[in-house]
Chains A and B, each alone.
Chain A
Amino acid sequence: MTSIDTARGAKTETGESKTSALLVLLHMRTFVALILVFTFFAIAAPNFLTGGNMLIISKHVALNALLAIGMTFVIIAGGIDLSVGSIVGLCAMVAGYLVLYGIDLGFLGIGYSIQFNTIEICLMVLVVGVGVGWINGLLITKLNVAPFIATLGTLYVARGAALLFSDGRTFPNLGGNPDYGSDTFRLIGSGSFLGFPLSVWIMIVVALLAAYLAARTPLGRHIYAVGGNERGAALSGVNVDRTKLFVYMFSGFCAALVGLIISSQLQASHPATGETFELNAIAAAVLGGTSMSGGRGRIGGTIVGAFVIGILADGLIMMGVSSFWQTVIKGLVIIAAVVVDQVQQKLQAKVILQQQVN
């Protein structure tokens, strides 16, 4: 992530100063937007700047940012993952079920159920999330289903499965049982480290890993290549199917993490958890400069995009703006972001052309 930043920075130094300055500004637009939004609410909304409020906002942002990180890879690779919200719901239900009941082996006729500790539960939930992502990937690579349709299908299937788990009811009181070692389950959502909620730390770790993967590993490079020109990548020896499979599985992994965090935070899991989360994740990625046509985007941008959306939402609530207006404003911000992105692309091409001539 950082290396790309410095490379881009060096490139602009050589160009004409005026357009270059504008270009730098445009390039940092999401960050500029973040500062503007932050400053605005700091002045306009009382209590916005308090430490408690900051913690609440960061907890909200962490969830969307985690989904958006997975989504960013999927979109860079030229796809889309509509199923993440449903995976969140399904994983929350699986987590709740495992905490409450474990796995009932009654069907074997031994009248016995296996109980799990927190680590085991987490691993099993993550396997479920990655598994749904794997199915998405298989549908898209082996069966040639368009990503939009494939993940729309799993959106419904996973949501339906979540509802079937409890017959539509909520799993309450996920306190866990110290006898089984599952009483620590609530810490995922409520624990903190160095003053920050654990969920924020999870987001930071996943973001750093993802940024490293994108910038410093062959797999990351392959993701960009597949999204930029799938045929060209294939002819260059890139394993396109494996690359795509990875991004959907990673997206499922991120969604499973969110499912765990939410069910732990609420100490309950509801089958409708995560509805429309996929749209917020896409919005954060796009706001952060990810191109819907694939091949372009950065994890850093996505994180900043998630913060802009999160601060906007919470700030407007604090100012007492109606939720109807909040929705309108969020939509306008997304559209503005994409328009500015187009302007930047054009300007950048022009600057490079100038440098070629010189």
Chain B
Amino acid sequence: MSDLHLVGLSIRNGSKIYPGTQALKNVDFDLRMGAVNVLVGENGAGKSTLMKVISGVEQLNGGTIELDGKVVAFADRTEAARHGVGIVFQELNLFPNLTVTENIFVGHEKTFGGIHIDSVAQTATARALMKRLEQDIDPDMPLGNLRIGQQQIVEIAKALAENARILILDEPTSALSATEVDVLFRVIGDLKRQGVGIVYISHRLEELIRIGDYITVLRDGVITGSRSMEGVDIPWIVANMIGTASKEFPKTVEHTLGDEVFRVENVCLPRPAGGYSVDHMSLSVRAGEIVGLYGLMGAGRSELLECIMAQHPNSSGKLFIGGAPVREKSVSGRIKRGLALIPEDRKRDGLVQIMTIRENLTLSSLKDFTRIFHLSLKEEAGKAAEFVKRLAIKIASLEHPVSSLSGGNQQKVVIGKALMTQPRILLMDEPSRGIDIGAKAEIFRTMRRLAGDGLGILFVTSDLDEVLALSDRILVMANGRLTGSFPAGANAADVVSAATPNLNRVDTL
């Protein structure tokens, strides 16, 4: 089958290093024309980085990219586009204030003499694209008025308008309805016949098997499997995604679990467009227990934690700590009751980047060092130093800005800040995101130790490996609902299928 499809673009020995982590390690990747090249791997495995490199958004630190046998180096996105590489990002890169047509042509407008926009031709092309994508979307409609799924279609139309020879689709179906997925697959079939090389990234494994011609599996920046799709099944993909040799996760230390320390009852978060982001979620955590909350992106896990942490005033439901109801409506009130959150986005939510390490560590517990209104800097520094030692945070000085630390050490500062409030329940949203393997293992050891000390931990992850190895109990969420509950040592395939309950729907199409 490989002979049928020529290799259009290939990467040899590609490496990409970000501060603190290596996202790609000596990757060899072949992109075949006239075929769907499926790319799969867990969050943080390097899929998106690889695609950013191909589309010129990021540049390799080592290795080469060859296009039609010639070595190329894309300085930016526009240069890649000139070479016929188009990309549809996972996050929509659209302008809600502009019309559908304007969005499709932004950056490469059809013009007379480079000045006057030929809006008639643009609208006509946009209308033709919408027809091709079988969408009833008015090209003059402001994009902001469209549903998310329709916006995603516009994003795809944008790539098609550039006549891409290579088209990268990063999780294009995550926001699409079943019929829209069907249309997209028909369009992909068309493009294939026209010789376009398609890269398709998705977490929905059965979807991949259905549409893919070739498959490449990434794990921790390394390609662990690459072959034609023939004969590939889900167990093969999962095995390559996770690997046989488990990562250095600390084994579950045997300790007895205490009584229930935290309970969530019927938490709901309505979506502005109707329906629920969090749909009647209930769960409980015992003292000393680590509960892993697994699910795909957009399953409502982060939203649930945000509801618990009083971030959504329009959410409903009840919380109980040690059996007593939580009525506090403010973050500080809930922190006082013993809740603490490690947010998913460290930079945006977890830290004040321009403040020092000391100031960040103590931000939630300043009143412990305050008499009436006087803040004792000496006590504060002492406590900060104690936590730096306890969590083995590598720093040169407490007075450096927290932004000077690596991802793993920044995460430890966030954890330190939460622990300083002496919580009874620790909520952790993707605690290992964006940090390297060594630091990950250390974070996990810390979580184990904290659980051993009697802390209840509820952590959210998209990393199957992580949830399987670390949890005393595994809960799975999909579409805002609880779709599975497994004991430690559950079967990986069961957990995955609980996380994608709409697979069957796609299958029966």
For residue A116, give the distance in angstroms from its CB to the closest CB of chain B.
Answer: 31
Q: A219–B366 Cα gap in the complex (Å)?
A: 9
**Interface flag for B13 (CB, 8 Å):** no
Q: Which residues in window 64-98 of B have CB below 8 A to A? A: none
* Shortest beta-carbon distance from A305 to chain B in Å: 20
A236-B417 contact in complex given A218-B375, A224-B359, C-beta closer than 8 Å: yes
The residues of B that contact A11 with a CB separation of less than 8 Å are 397, 399-400
In the complex, A353 Cα to B355 Cα: how many Å?
A: 16
Tell whether, in the assembled complex, residue A219 and residue B373 are in contact, meaning their CB atoms are under 8 Å apart: yes
Interface size class of A (residues with CB under 8 A): 35 or more
Tell me the total A-B contact number using a CB cutoff of 8 A.
93
Contact between chains at B363 and A233 (CB < 8 Å): yes
The residue on A at minimum CB distance from B409 is A356
Is A276's beta carbon under 8 Å from chain B? no
Residues of A within 8 A of B377 (CB): 3, 215-216
Is B499 engaged at the interface, CB distance under 8 Å to the other chain? no
The 8 A CB mask of A210-237 against B (1 = contact, 0 = none) is 0000011111111011001101111111
Q: Is A355 an interface residue (CB 8 A)?
A: yes
A10 touches B399 (CB 8 A): yes
CA distance A228 to B399 in the complex (A): 16
Interface band, chain B? 35 or more
**In-complex Cβ contact of B352 among A7, A225, A358 (8 A):** A225
Whether, in the assembled complex, B390 has its beta carbon less than 8 Å from a beta carbon of chain A, the answer is no
Given contacts A217-B370, A235-B331, A239-B330, contact A295 B354 (CB under 8 A): yes
Q: Which residue of B lies closest to A229 (CB)?
A: B352
Smallest CB-CB separation from B350: which chain A residue? Answer: A232
| A residues in contact with B405, CB < 8 Å | 356
A238 and B349 alpha carbons, distance in the complex (Å): 13
The reply to whether the CB of B351 lies closer than 8 angstroms to some CB of chain A is yes
A43 to chain B, nearest CB (A): 39
Note all chain A residues with C-beta closer than 8 A to B341. Answer: 235
B361 CB → nearest A CB, Å:
10
Do A236 and B364 have beta carbons less than 8 Å apart? yes
Q: Which residues of B contact A356 (CB under 8 A)?
A: 396, 400, 404-405
Q: List B160-185 residues whose CB lies under 8 Å from chain A.
A: none
- Does B247 count as interface, using CB distance less than 8 angstroms? no
B335 close to A (CB within 8 Å)? yes
Residues of A within 8 A of B352 (CB): 224-225, 228-229, 232-233, 295
The verdict on A27 contacting chain B, using a C-beta distance below 8 Å, is no
The reply on B480 being an interface residue by CB < 8 A is: no
In residues 381-432 of chain B, which contact A (Cβ within 8 Å)? 396-397, 399-401, 404-405, 417, 421
A25 within 8 A of B: no
The answer to whether A221 and B366 have CB atoms under 8 Å apart is: yes
Across the two chains, which residue of chain A brings its CB closest to B356?
Answer: A7
Contact of A296 with B by CB under 8 A: yes
Q: Bound complex: CA of A233 vs CA of B354, how far in Å?
A: 12
Q: Report whether A224 and B355 are in contact in the complex, using a CB–CB cutoff of 8 Å.
A: yes
On whether the beta carbons of A228 and B353 are closer than 8 Å, the reply is yes
Least Cβ–Cβ distance between B201 and chain A, in angstroms: 29
The answer to whether B404 and A221 have CB atoms under 8 Å apart is no
Give chain A residues whose Cβ lies under 8 Å from the Cβ of B399.
7-8, 10-11
Assess whether A146 is interfacial by the CB under 8 Å rule: no
Residues in B neighbouring A220, C-beta threshold 8 A: 375
B505 within 8 A of A: no
Q: Does A332 count as interface, using CB distance less than 8 angstroms?
A: no
Bound: A218/B371 CA distance, A: 10
User: Among A217, A228, A237, A296, which residue has its beta carbon within 8 angstroms of that of B364?
Assistant: A237
Contact indicator per residue, chain B 311-337, by CB within 8 Å of chain A (1) or not (0): 100000000000000000011100100
Q: Would you list 9 pairs from A and B whose C-beta atoms are within 8 A, ordered by A residue?
A: A7-B399, A217-B375, A218-B370, A221-B363, A235-B309, A236-B363, A237-B363, A238-B332, A352-B400
Q: Considering the complex of A and B, which 4 residue pairs feature the smallest CB-CB distances, nearest first?
A: A237-B332, A228-B352, A218-B366, A229-B352
Interface residues of A (CB under 8 A from B): 3, 7-8, 10-11, 14, 215-222, 224-225, 228-229, 231-239, 295-296, 349, 352-353, 355-356, 358
